[in-house]
Structure 1
Amino acid sequence: MENKERRDTILKMLQQASKPVTGTEMARVCQVSRQIIVGDIALLRASGTPVISTPRGYQLHAFHKHGCQESFLCKHGPELVEAELDAIVDNGGIVHNVVVEHEVYGFMEGELNLKSRRDVQLYIQRMKKTKAPLLSSMSNGVHTHLVETETEEEMEAIHKALEKLGVLVG
Protein backbone atom coordinates (compact mmCIF):
# COMPACT_ATOMS: atom_id res chain seq x y z
CA MET A 1 0.00 0.00 0.00
CA GLU A 2 1.46 3.37 -1.02
CA ASN A 3 1.79 6.25 1.45
CA LYS A 4 -1.16 8.33 0.19
CA GLU A 5 -3.38 5.27 -0.16
CA ARG A 6 -2.50 4.24 3.40
CA ARG A 7 -3.32 7.70 4.81
CA ASP A 8 -6.61 7.66 2.86
CA THR A 9 -7.39 4.26 4.41
CA ILE A 10 -6.59 5.59 7.90
CA LEU A 11 -8.80 8.63 7.35
CA LYS A 12 -11.65 6.44 6.10
CA MET A 13 -11.30 4.18 9.16
CA LEU A 14 -11.52 7.21 11.45
CA GLN A 15 -14.50 8.68 9.59
CA GLN A 16 -16.44 5.40 9.78
CA ALA A 17 -15.56 4.56 13.37
CA SER A 18 -18.09 4.97 16.16
CA LYS A 19 -15.29 4.75 18.75
CA PRO A 20 -11.53 5.42 18.82
CA VAL A 21 -9.37 3.22 16.56
CA THR A 22 -6.10 1.90 17.94
CA GLY A 23 -2.81 2.35 16.10
CA THR A 24 -2.40 -1.43 16.28
CA GLU A 25 -5.70 -1.97 14.44
CA MET A 26 -4.72 0.56 11.74
CA ALA A 27 -1.32 -1.10 11.38
CA ARG A 28 -2.98 -4.50 10.94
CA VAL A 29 -5.36 -3.23 8.25
CA CYS A 30 -2.62 -1.33 6.41
CA GLN A 31 -0.05 -4.12 6.92
CA VAL A 32 2.61 -1.79 8.33
CA SER A 33 4.17 -1.19 11.75
CA ARG A 34 2.42 0.86 14.41
CA GLN A 35 5.27 3.37 14.16
CA ILE A 36 4.41 3.98 10.48
CA ILE A 37 0.83 4.71 11.60
CA VAL A 38 2.10 7.22 14.19
CA GLY A 39 3.96 9.03 11.39
CA ASP A 40 0.90 8.95 9.14
CA ILE A 41 -1.25 10.41 11.94
CA ALA A 42 1.30 13.22 12.36
CA LEU A 43 1.15 13.94 8.62
CA LEU A 44 -2.66 13.93 8.66
CA ARG A 45 -2.61 16.41 11.56
CA ALA A 46 -0.07 18.60 9.76
CA SER A 47 -2.36 18.72 6.74
CA GLY A 48 -5.22 20.00 8.91
CA THR A 49 -7.12 16.78 9.66
CA PRO A 50 -8.40 17.08 13.25
CA VAL A 51 -7.12 13.72 14.55
CA ILE A 52 -6.88 13.46 18.32
CA SER A 53 -5.35 10.83 20.57
CA THR A 54 -7.35 9.29 23.38
CA PRO A 55 -6.43 6.58 25.88
CA ARG A 56 -8.40 4.15 23.66
CA GLY A 57 -6.97 5.15 20.27
CA TYR A 58 -7.28 7.80 17.58
CA GLN A 59 -10.44 9.60 16.51
CA LEU A 60 -11.54 12.61 14.55
CA HIS A 61 -12.31 15.62 16.71
CA ALA A 62 -15.93 16.65 16.43
CA PHE A 63 -16.10 20.39 16.92
CA HIS A 64 -19.10 21.47 18.97
CA LYS A 65 -20.82 24.77 18.40
CA HIS A 66 -22.70 24.48 21.67
CA GLY A 67 -21.64 23.97 25.26
CA CYS A 68 -19.01 25.74 27.33
CA GLN A 69 -15.23 25.73 27.46
CA GLU A 70 -13.02 26.94 30.27
CA SER A 71 -9.34 26.68 31.06
CA PHE A 72 -8.59 25.78 34.68
CA LEU A 73 -5.25 26.77 36.22
CA CYS A 74 -4.25 24.10 38.72
CA LYS A 75 -1.32 23.16 40.94
CA HIS A 76 -0.78 19.84 42.70
CA GLY A 77 1.50 16.84 42.88
CA PRO A 78 1.08 13.43 41.27
CA GLU A 79 -1.00 12.16 44.19
CA LEU A 80 -4.00 14.29 43.11
CA VAL A 81 -3.96 13.67 39.33
CA GLU A 82 -6.62 10.97 39.37
CA ALA A 83 -8.87 12.84 41.82
CA GLU A 84 -8.58 16.03 39.75
CA LEU A 85 -9.46 14.29 36.47
CA ASP A 86 -12.29 12.29 38.08
CA ALA A 87 -13.75 15.51 39.51
CA ILE A 88 -13.92 16.93 36.00
CA VAL A 89 -15.39 13.92 34.17
CA ASP A 90 -17.78 13.05 37.03
CA ASN A 91 -19.37 16.48 36.65
CA GLY A 92 -19.90 16.22 32.91
CA GLY A 93 -16.60 17.62 31.64
CA ILE A 94 -14.27 16.56 28.88
CA VAL A 95 -10.58 17.16 29.69
CA HIS A 96 -9.15 18.11 26.30
CA ASN A 97 -5.54 18.70 27.30
CA VAL A 98 -2.88 19.56 29.82
CA VAL A 99 -0.66 22.60 29.19
CA VAL A 100 2.45 23.72 31.06
CA GLU A 101 4.74 26.68 30.57
CA HIS A 102 8.41 25.73 30.36
CA GLU A 103 11.17 28.29 31.01
CA VAL A 104 12.94 27.50 27.74
CA TYR A 105 10.41 25.83 25.45
CA GLY A 106 7.40 27.98 26.24
CA PHE A 107 3.98 26.34 26.30
CA MET A 108 3.91 22.56 26.00
CA GLU A 109 0.65 20.68 25.47
CA GLY A 110 -0.39 17.09 25.86
CA GLU A 111 -3.70 15.89 24.41
CA LEU A 112 -5.84 13.96 26.89
CA ASN A 113 -9.45 13.93 25.65
CA LEU A 114 -10.77 12.22 28.76
CA LYS A 115 -14.55 11.87 28.93
CA SER A 116 -15.17 9.23 31.58
CA ARG A 117 -13.72 7.50 34.63
CA ARG A 118 -12.72 4.65 32.32
CA ASP A 119 -10.69 7.08 30.20
CA VAL A 120 -9.07 8.46 33.37
CA GLN A 121 -8.24 4.93 34.57
CA LEU A 122 -6.68 4.02 31.21
CA TYR A 123 -4.62 7.22 31.28
CA ILE A 124 -3.42 6.60 34.85
CA GLN A 125 -2.55 2.97 34.03
CA ARG A 126 -0.62 4.04 30.94
CA MET A 127 1.35 6.65 32.90
CA LYS A 128 2.23 4.07 35.58
CA LYS A 129 3.12 1.38 33.04
CA THR A 130 5.41 3.65 31.02
CA LYS A 131 6.76 5.49 34.08
CA ALA A 132 6.45 8.67 32.00
CA PRO A 133 6.77 11.88 34.00
CA LEU A 134 3.78 14.20 34.17
CA LEU A 135 4.13 17.36 32.08
CA SER A 136 3.38 19.31 35.25
CA SER A 137 6.55 17.91 36.81
CA MET A 138 8.42 20.46 34.65
CA SER A 139 6.46 23.37 36.12
CA ASN A 140 6.36 22.55 39.84
CA GLY A 141 2.88 21.09 39.45
CA VAL A 142 1.37 24.16 37.74
CA HIS A 143 -0.70 23.36 34.65
CA THR A 144 -3.94 24.14 32.87
CA HIS A 145 -6.69 21.94 31.51
CA LEU A 146 -9.06 22.98 28.74
CA VAL A 147 -12.42 21.59 29.83
CA GLU A 148 -15.64 21.38 27.83
CA THR A 149 -19.16 20.85 29.18
CA GLU A 150 -22.64 20.92 27.74
CA THR A 151 -23.97 23.40 30.30
CA GLU A 152 -22.87 26.26 32.57
CA GLU A 153 -24.18 24.26 35.54
CA GLU A 154 -21.77 21.42 34.79
CA MET A 155 -18.89 23.89 34.47
CA GLU A 156 -19.80 25.45 37.83
CA ALA A 157 -19.96 21.97 39.43
CA ILE A 158 -16.46 21.24 38.09
CA HIS A 159 -15.18 24.55 39.46
CA LYS A 160 -16.60 23.72 42.91
CA ALA A 161 -15.20 20.18 42.85
CA LEU A 162 -11.71 21.43 41.94
CA GLU A 163 -11.92 24.13 44.63
CA LYS A 164 -12.89 21.46 47.18
CA LEU A 165 -9.83 19.41 46.17
CA GLY A 166 -7.67 22.50 46.68
CA VAL A 167 -6.02 22.29 43.25
CA LEU A 168 -7.16 25.60 41.71
CA VAL A 169 -4.70 28.48 41.55
CA GLY A 170 -6.05 31.99 42.12
Structure 2
Amino acid sequence: MKKTILIAMLCFCAIGVSQEKMISKSAKVIFEASVPSFEEVKAVNQNVTFVLNPATGEIASLALMKGFQFKVALMEEHFNENYIESDQYPKAVFKGKIQGFDLQSLTVNPKDFIIKGKLELHGKSRDINTAAKISRSPSGVSISCNFSVNASDFNIEIPNLVKSKLSNKINIQVAAVLETNRQ
Protein backbone atom coordinates (compact mmCIF):
# COMPACT_ATOMS: atom_id res chain seq x y z
CA MET A 1 0.00 0.00 0.00
CA LYS A 2 2.81 2.41 0.89
CA LYS A 3 4.50 1.68 -2.46
CA THR A 4 1.27 2.43 -4.33
CA ILE A 5 0.89 5.77 -2.55
CA LEU A 6 4.55 6.61 -3.17
CA ILE A 7 4.25 5.78 -6.89
CA ALA A 8 1.05 7.84 -7.16
CA MET A 9 2.74 10.80 -5.44
CA LEU A 10 5.78 10.56 -7.76
CA CYS A 11 3.51 10.49 -10.83
CA PHE A 12 1.59 13.51 -9.53
CA CYS A 13 4.85 15.41 -8.95
CA ALA A 14 6.13 14.50 -12.42
CA ILE A 15 2.93 15.83 -14.00
CA GLY A 16 3.32 19.11 -12.08
CA VAL A 17 6.94 19.53 -13.20
CA SER A 18 6.12 18.76 -16.83
CA GLN A 19 3.61 21.63 -16.92
CA GLU A 20 6.09 24.17 -15.58
CA LYS A 21 6.83 26.93 -18.08
CA MET A 22 8.96 30.04 -17.87
CA ILE A 23 7.45 33.33 -18.96
CA SER A 24 8.15 37.03 -19.34
CA LYS A 25 5.57 39.68 -20.14
CA SER A 26 8.22 42.39 -20.27
CA ALA A 27 10.70 41.05 -22.81
CA LYS A 28 12.34 43.78 -24.87
CA VAL A 29 12.56 43.88 -28.66
CA ILE A 30 14.48 46.62 -30.46
CA PHE A 31 14.48 46.97 -34.21
CA GLU A 32 16.54 49.31 -36.33
CA ALA A 33 16.28 50.13 -40.03
CA SER A 34 18.64 53.10 -40.10
CA VAL A 35 20.99 54.01 -42.92
CA PRO A 36 24.16 56.10 -42.53
CA SER A 37 23.84 59.89 -42.81
CA PHE A 38 20.09 59.94 -42.11
CA GLU A 39 17.88 60.11 -39.04
CA GLU A 40 17.88 57.02 -36.83
CA VAL A 41 14.96 54.66 -37.51
CA LYS A 42 14.71 52.66 -34.32
CA ALA A 43 11.89 51.45 -32.07
CA VAL A 44 11.57 49.62 -28.77
CA ASN A 45 8.80 47.39 -27.43
CA GLN A 46 9.24 46.52 -23.75
CA ASN A 47 6.00 44.58 -23.34
CA VAL A 48 6.71 41.48 -25.41
CA THR A 49 5.43 38.14 -24.12
CA PHE A 50 8.02 35.36 -24.21
CA VAL A 51 7.42 31.74 -23.11
CA LEU A 52 9.90 28.88 -22.70
CA ASN A 53 9.14 25.23 -22.05
CA PRO A 54 12.37 24.24 -20.25
CA ALA A 55 11.68 20.52 -20.67
CA THR A 56 11.64 20.72 -24.49
CA GLY A 57 13.45 23.98 -25.31
CA GLU A 58 10.40 25.21 -27.24
CA ILE A 59 9.90 28.96 -27.21
CA ALA A 60 7.22 31.35 -28.35
CA SER A 61 7.06 35.12 -28.41
CA LEU A 62 4.36 37.65 -29.21
CA ALA A 63 4.89 41.37 -29.83
CA LEU A 64 2.04 43.77 -30.46
CA MET A 65 3.01 46.10 -33.29
CA LYS A 66 1.45 49.16 -31.65
CA GLY A 67 3.73 48.53 -28.67
CA PHE A 68 6.81 49.74 -30.59
CA GLN A 69 7.80 53.24 -29.55
CA PHE A 70 9.92 55.59 -31.65
CA LYS A 71 11.73 58.78 -30.64
CA VAL A 72 9.72 60.65 -33.28
CA ALA A 73 5.92 60.35 -33.10
CA LEU A 74 5.54 60.79 -36.87
CA MET A 75 7.78 57.75 -37.48
CA GLU A 76 5.60 55.70 -35.15
CA GLU A 77 2.48 56.81 -37.01
CA HIS A 78 3.98 55.95 -40.41
CA PHE A 79 5.23 52.59 -39.07
CA ASN A 80 1.76 51.60 -37.84
CA GLU A 81 -0.32 53.01 -40.70
CA ASN A 82 1.84 52.71 -43.83
CA TYR A 83 4.44 49.98 -43.31
CA ILE A 84 3.33 47.38 -40.75
CA GLU A 85 -0.39 48.17 -41.12
CA SER A 86 -0.96 47.41 -37.44
CA ASP A 87 -4.75 47.41 -37.67
CA GLN A 88 -4.63 44.58 -40.23
CA TYR A 89 -1.51 42.83 -38.83
CA PRO A 90 -1.53 43.62 -35.09
CA LYS A 91 1.20 41.25 -33.93
CA ALA A 92 4.45 39.48 -34.69
CA VAL A 93 4.76 35.89 -33.49
CA PHE A 94 7.88 33.75 -33.20
CA LYS A 95 7.68 30.01 -32.50
CA GLY A 96 10.77 27.88 -32.34
CA LYS A 97 13.14 25.70 -30.39
CA ILE A 98 16.44 26.23 -28.62
CA GLN A 99 18.71 23.51 -30.01
CA GLY A 100 20.26 21.28 -27.33
CA PHE A 101 18.68 23.25 -24.48
CA ASP A 102 19.32 21.89 -20.99
CA LEU A 103 18.13 24.04 -18.11
CA GLN A 104 20.35 22.20 -15.63
CA SER A 105 23.51 23.10 -17.57
CA LEU A 106 22.91 26.86 -17.29
CA THR A 107 25.01 29.05 -15.01
CA VAL A 108 25.28 32.81 -14.52
CA ASN A 109 27.83 32.82 -17.35
CA PRO A 110 26.02 33.08 -20.71
CA LYS A 111 26.14 29.95 -22.84
CA ASP A 112 25.79 29.91 -26.64
CA PHE A 113 22.77 28.20 -28.20
CA ILE A 114 21.12 28.18 -31.62
CA ILE A 115 17.44 29.06 -31.92
CA LYS A 116 15.52 27.81 -34.96
CA GLY A 117 11.95 28.76 -35.69
CA LYS A 118 9.45 30.77 -37.71
CA LEU A 119 8.70 34.48 -37.51
CA GLU A 120 5.20 35.50 -38.58
CA LEU A 121 4.91 39.18 -39.45
CA HIS A 122 2.69 41.21 -41.77
CA GLY A 123 0.88 38.08 -42.94
CA LYS A 124 4.08 36.26 -43.98
CA SER A 125 6.19 33.59 -42.30
CA ARG A 126 9.97 33.16 -42.57
CA ASP A 127 12.47 30.73 -41.06
CA ILE A 128 14.84 32.24 -38.51
CA ASN A 129 18.11 30.67 -37.33
CA THR A 130 20.06 32.71 -34.83
CA ALA A 131 22.67 32.43 -32.12
CA ALA A 132 21.52 33.24 -28.59
CA LYS A 133 23.17 33.81 -25.22
CA ILE A 134 21.32 32.09 -22.39
CA SER A 135 22.16 32.15 -18.69
CA ARG A 136 20.70 31.76 -15.22
CA SER A 137 19.50 34.97 -13.63
CA PRO A 138 18.42 35.62 -10.04
CA SER A 139 14.77 35.25 -11.04
CA GLY A 140 15.03 32.56 -13.73
CA VAL A 141 16.61 32.45 -17.19
CA SER A 142 18.00 35.29 -19.30
CA ILE A 143 17.92 35.05 -23.12
CA SER A 144 19.38 37.51 -25.61
CA CYS A 145 19.84 37.33 -29.36
CA ASN A 146 20.31 39.47 -32.45
CA PHE A 147 19.21 38.70 -35.99
CA SER A 148 18.24 40.46 -39.21
CA VAL A 149 15.31 40.17 -41.58
CA ASN A 150 14.47 41.93 -44.82
CA ALA A 151 11.32 44.05 -44.90
CA SER A 152 10.71 42.84 -48.46
CA ASP A 153 10.55 39.20 -47.23
CA PHE A 154 7.41 40.17 -45.31
CA ASN A 155 5.85 42.22 -48.13
CA ILE A 156 6.58 45.46 -46.29
CA GLU A 157 6.98 48.02 -49.04
CA ILE A 158 9.30 50.98 -48.66
CA PRO A 159 8.16 53.82 -50.93
CA ASN A 160 10.69 55.20 -53.44
CA LEU A 161 10.50 58.59 -51.73
CA VAL A 162 12.15 57.23 -48.56
CA LYS A 163 14.12 54.21 -49.86
CA SER A 164 17.41 56.05 -49.42
CA LYS A 165 16.54 56.88 -45.78
CA LEU A 166 15.27 53.50 -44.68
CA SER A 167 17.08 50.17 -44.82
CA ASN A 168 15.38 47.06 -46.19
CA LYS A 169 17.56 45.09 -43.73
CA ILE A 170 16.00 45.27 -40.27
CA ASN A 171 18.28 44.49 -37.31
CA ILE A 172 16.42 43.00 -34.36
CA GLN A 173 17.62 42.61 -30.75
CA VAL A 174 15.72 40.51 -28.22
CA ALA A 175 16.27 40.41 -24.44
CA ALA A 176 14.10 38.50 -21.98
CA VAL A 177 14.29 37.39 -18.37
CA LEU A 178 11.91 34.49 -17.88
CA GLU A 179 10.51 33.36 -14.55
CA THR A 180 8.88 30.07 -13.58
CA ASN A 181 5.13 30.04 -14.14
CA ARG A 182 3.32 26.96 -12.84
CA GLN A 183 0.03 26.24 -14.57
Bigger proportion of residues as strand: 2
Q: Give the number of the structure whose alpha-carbon radius of gyration is greater.
A: 2
- Same topology, TM > 0.5: no
Greater fraction helix = 1
The TM-score normalised by the length of structure 1 is 0.24
State TM-score, norm by structure 2.
0.23
